[in-house]
Amino acid sequence: MRDLLIATNNAGKVREYGGLLSSLPVRLRSLSEYGIETDVAETGQTFEENAAIKATGYAKLSGVLTLADDSGLCIDRLGGSPGVRSARYAGEHATDADRILKVLSELTGVPADVRTARFVCVIALSDPDGKIIASVDGTCKGMITDRPRGTSGFGYDPIFLPDGFDKTFGELEADVKDQISHRANAALKIIPFLRGFFNI
């Protein structure tokens, strides 16, 4: 088994990658398993920049192949916000519920047909020396609901209704979400690079 560091403290994200990369003979490791408490600051202006910053930073700290992603919700009516600030949109220590409430309050009175949005995910893969091997992206288009629906997933999942479905990411079964999500789309693109690095 080869070790792959998933550079996040988000347990929900690690679980998702466990499913998305289950076809590979790799062992997903978390930051805590390496005793890494350093917080690599996301100082980039784009998803691509932030993913690369995290991948290289944590690869150097751990000395192993590292996968990092930066992802977020981009709402057309809000000019693309929350965007790269998705995790900090309602403040540094806000909860998922706080962030959802902020988004819904900003869309009060906005008709359903103009609540278009997309989830974006950029994955960066860094070798143990901090060199970026690959950077890929994935998107999932949809709409923002008028209230949270479902308790599955994490983040903004309960208010995101993907195109072609009548259930939010918070209501969809995990195996369905793993086929259509922004992270699933990006993960499919990164798998060949993982196979190449590990020669598997």
Catalytic position from the list 69, 70, 137, 157: 70
What is the model's pLDDT at position 16? 84
Q: What is the pLDDT of residue 133?
A: 96
Residue ranges of the domains in the chain?
A: 2-198
**Domain 2-198 -> CATH class:** alpha beta
What pLDDT digit, counting tens, does each position of 97-134 carry? 999 999 999 999 999 999 999 999 999 999 999 999 99
**What confidence score (pLDDT) does residue 166 get?**
97
Residue 154 confidence (pLDDT): 87
DSSP state of 167: S
Of the chain, the percentage scoring pLDDT greater than 70 comes to 100
pLDDT of res. 153: 83
Catalytic-residue membership of 178: no
Q: In terms of Cα–Cα distance, which of 178, 171, 169 is closest to 142? A: 169
Which pLDDT belongs to residue 184? 93
Confidence (pLDDT) at 174 = 87
Q: What local confidence, expressed as pLDDT, does residue 12 receive?
A: 75
Amino acid 9: pLDDT: 81
pLDDT, averaged in runs of 10, over the chain (200 residues): 89 85 93 91 94 97 96 97 94 94 97 96 97 97 97 93 97 92 95 93
pLDDT for the residue numbered 191: 96
Question: Alpha-carbon distance 160 to 126, whole Å?
Answer: 30
Amino acid letter, residue 94: A
Select from 69, 52, 61 the least CA-distant residue to 31. Answer: 61
